Structure 1
């Protein structure tokens, strides 16, 4: 199918689809409704746990944790959780980020400057802190005789870096940043800087713009960049129109079971040539499905209180879960040498639980001892 055909389809259906269902939702005012704001808060911690599960996936990813006794059952469980369900986490984060950046905003040069200045404290400062910290830790490990051998032949010694090498390593110019999970924050900063251009394109040629981004993502052009741009800008479109991000709640009642069914089928047959495309259709169904689940979560006072409280630690867990997760997993495999599904899956789940628990506990401890510093490295959260 040609890009022009995709554009035509998107123009005649997707934008009309959004506009149609918007009529079912109250437009509200320039501020988020209290209910919408609460439901977005409920998502923060579960989505971060989803990110940790993505990085906990071990099938074929790490020779040091080779799963000798892995069976189809183990592969199914890890694929379903890490490669299907959890894969909605990052698109949702970009969708929400784009939505909040543009929602209720009357654009001007001053407003743009104000938003960029606020992102210096919420994005740039923690981004620099964590990436520089990782470089310092790597440099210390490379200089110590007992740990230097782990870096032999794998990378240039940090002590030999030129100024340009530090810049490339911190910002991830040609690869991931030093703290690799921060590619998300890097892309978010770039998209924030491009906000005026994004706004102009979304107000003048929204169908063509969104269709182009959708096509690039489906055809896998641009890697993570196409995913970042599509979902941030889709969220921006919803925000500019001042639609509710939960406008598809009614439809999500049937989308959710369909999404789960697709995720299960994909997890059983991940090697088919159609998998990448069916997987992405699943993600598009998964986004409104997970947004809808917050409506159910908000009905439980205890669960609502716990998730809002744990949501404060989300950024810190995101920043610190690696390399802790990898260390826990490698030590577990070295000590236990699992051979059977029960042992392998126990390590898989427990490595996530222990990592999230340790990072969360450290956040609340630091937040009590040095609250200002903790807020700074956690983006003011």
Structure 2
């Protein structure tokens, strides 16, 4: 992987995780059109592309240098135990313990929408299921933002099957996956089939050695603008039709995001020449792991200062991801310097 592509993935990952933060920073507020428009544009139109692109990047990187075959896949599965599985376990526990600790403070329970202390009264199997698998909604663990990592772990477990499918069926196998998604084939967790589909697209590009990922399209912004335009158009369609457009539209938008980077930033960008951005990129995974519950706390604190008005909620929405990123980087730097072993274990060796 050349340096430009490496820098592109690092910076694009940081940009996308910021959009994930905006998704989790939103307030449902009526009466201020600018507020609702900005939140919808950032969270529901642009932000919804973040997770599919993350899965595609994960699939592309996972299947790099797998020419030898399944032996390499087995080695990668073992490595992911440290880099993904353990951070998932630590982060799930951190989420629950943090909220339980806050809830135990006098008066704090009034600001928490769920009784986290009740988890410790549940039977052991129910306790494990809620924290590490999923709640009764059939989708997310109680640390809801970690569903992506949970799905990624499951995908890695079945990655030999995905590899065999791509090697033998090539893009036909991926088309079959997306046909199943369009038919709303139900498996649990609910998000898993879609996650496998996006991961497989990245894997297909990697295994087929397609050059599409290396192309630098100067007019990539036109694809992205087209995605936004169509997104607003289909908003007026009845819900029954949306499922047939949704996944295909995200494919279109993801291509737009990938090439928009080239159009705006270009091949001359070298990450090392921007020390601050390079520093923040080193903590992208850490930011993702801890952004809940802390960004939720930050956004509510901002509202306390600026007021519970539409404008106040908009200010909180805009500022809370930025403030949180700075906060997370400072905490990450402190842990990496003074508790390097603990930090390395928490982020799966990404130091």
Deviation, structure 1 residue 211: 1.4
Are residues 1:176 and 2:146 paired? Answer: no
Quote the Cα distance in structure 1 between the aligned partners of 2:96 and 2:61: 32
Partner of 2:31: 69
1:213-252 residue CA offsets vs partner (Å, 9 max, x unmatched): 22233455444223211110111111111224524533xx
Q: Pick one of 153, 170, 173 that aligns with 1:206.
A: 170
Are residues 1:119 and 2:119 paired? Answer: no
Partner of 1:17: none
Are residues 1:56 and 2:25 paired? Answer: yes
Partner of 1:311: 281
Contact kept, 8 Å, 2:23 with 2:47, in 1: the verdict is yes
Partner of 1:28: none
Partner of 2:6: 37
Query: What TM-score comes out, normalization by structure 2 length?
Result: 0.85
Are residues 1:351 and 2:312 paired? Answer: no
Deviation, structure 1 residue 281: 3.8
Query: What TM-score comes out, normalization by structure 1 length?
Result: 0.79
Partner of 2:54: 93
1:278-298 residue CA offsets vs partner (Å, 9 max, x unmatched): 554442222222222443424
How many residues are aligned here? 339
Deviation, structure 1 residue 271: 4.7
Q: Secondary structure at the match of 1:157?
A: helix
Check 1:204–1:301 CA distance in 2 against 1; reply closer, same or farther (3 A cut). closer
Quote the Cα distance in structure 2 between the aligned partners of 1:85 and 1:303: 27
Partner of 1:241: 208
Contact kept, 8 Å, 1:256 with 1:286, in 2: the verdict is no
Computing the radius of gyration over CA atoms, which structure comes out larger, 1 or 2?
Answer: 1
Quote the Cα distance in structure 1 between the aligned partners of 2:127 and 2:292: 20
Deviation, structure 1 residue 308: 3.2
Partner of 1:322: 292
Contact kept, 8 Å, 2:95 with 2:143, in 1: the verdict is yes
Contact kept, 8 Å, 2:220 with 2:260, in 1: the verdict is no
Partner of 1:337: 307
Quote the Cα distance in structure 2 between the aligned partners of 1:113 and 1:125: 18
Check 1:229–1:134 CA distance in 2 against 1; reply closer, same or farther (3 A cut). same
Partner of 2:39: 78
Q: Secondary structure at the match of 1:95?
A: helix
Q: Pick one of 360, 364, 369 that aligns with 2:338.
A: 369
Contact kept, 8 Å, 2:220 with 2:259, in 1: the verdict is no
Larger mean CA deviation between 113-122 and 138-147 belongs to 138-147
Q: Where do 5+ consecutive residues of structure 2 fail to align?
A: none
Deviation, structure 1 residue 301: 4.5
Quote the Cα distance in structure 1 between the aligned partners of 2:214 and 2:201: 14
Check 1:359–1:68 CA distance in 2 against 1; reply closer, same or farther (3 A cut). same
Contact kept, 8 Å, 1:259 with 1:282, in 2: the verdict is no
Quote the Cα distance in structure 1 between the aligned partners of 2:95 and 2:172: 41
Contact kept, 8 Å, 1:76 with 1:267, in 2: the verdict is no
Q: Where do 5+ consecutive residues of structure 1 fail to align?
A: 1-31, 60-66
Check 1:70–1:336 CA distance in 2 against 1; reply closer, same or farther (3 A cut). same
Contact kept, 8 Å, 1:99 with 1:235, in 2: the verdict is yes
Check 1:204–1:300 CA distance in 2 against 1; reply closer, same or farther (3 A cut). closer
Q: Secondary structure at the match of 2:198?
A: helix
1:267-318 residue CA offsets vs partner (Å, 9 max, x unmatched): 4873532555555444222222222244342424478634333211101110
Counterpart mapping for 1:130-145 below 5 A:
130-145=91-106
Deviation, structure 1 residue 134: 2.0
Partner of 2:257: 290
Check 1:146–1:92 CA distance in 2 against 1; reply closer, same or farther (3 A cut). same
Partner of 1:63: none
